[in-house]
Amino acid sequence: MYDIFITHAWRYHDDWTRLSSLFDAEKSIKWRNFSVPWYDPALDPNTELGAKAIRSWIDGQIRPVIGTVLLDGVYAVKSNRKWLELEVELSRNHLKPVVVLPAHGTTIVSAEATALADAVVAWDALGIIKVLQDLAAARASA
């Protein structure tokens, strides 16, 4: 069972849905998506209490995973960066590897997203899991 966090900005994005479907379609693996976007409209992320609650919620999603997949297509939208950078920060705090995936249909990853990641991966479910496992094992043995 592979527990994975896919970056998001509080809603389902096309690449988030595509990657989830890609993992679901790979019958040789079992995985759990720990990155379910959730938003309580009563929480205001611009208040101290709201920001703390959201940070805690994301932290709880990231803590048990083997790694995080940063979606460059979602990161490209400047209004999403605050959330994705928080997700990467929390991944780093828990020593989780972060890999970046190019926007669907491309092979180029932005320099900004590359700088946040440990590796660049392609749209291949088994390949993504292998890279996350290898990075996690290297961290554990260090």
Higher pLDDT, 102 or 139: 102
pLDDT tens-place string over residues 91-131:
999 999 999 999 999 999 999 999 999 999 999 999 999 99
Where do we find the tokens 């083997």? 66
Specify the DSSP class assigned to residue 79: G
pLDDT tens-place string over residues 22-80:
999 999 999 999 887 666 666 777 788 877 888 888 898 999 999 999 999 999 988 88
What pLDDT is stored for residue 40 in this prediction?
63
How remote is the C-alpha of 65 from its chain's centroid? 10
CA pair distance 35, 56, nearest whole angstrom:
13
What pLDDT is stored for residue 46 in this prediction?
74
CA pair distance 117, 97, nearest whole angstrom:
8
Gap between the terminal Cα atoms of the chain = 24
Q: Does the pLDDT value for residue 82 go beyond 70?
A: yes
Evaluate whether 83 touches 9 at the Cβ level (below 8 Å): yes
What pLDDT is stored for residue 39 in this prediction?
60
What pLDDT is stored for residue 102 in this prediction?
97
Set out the domains of the chain in order of their start, with CATH numbers: 2-141 (3.40.50.9200)
CA pair distance 58, 35, nearest whole angstrom:
8
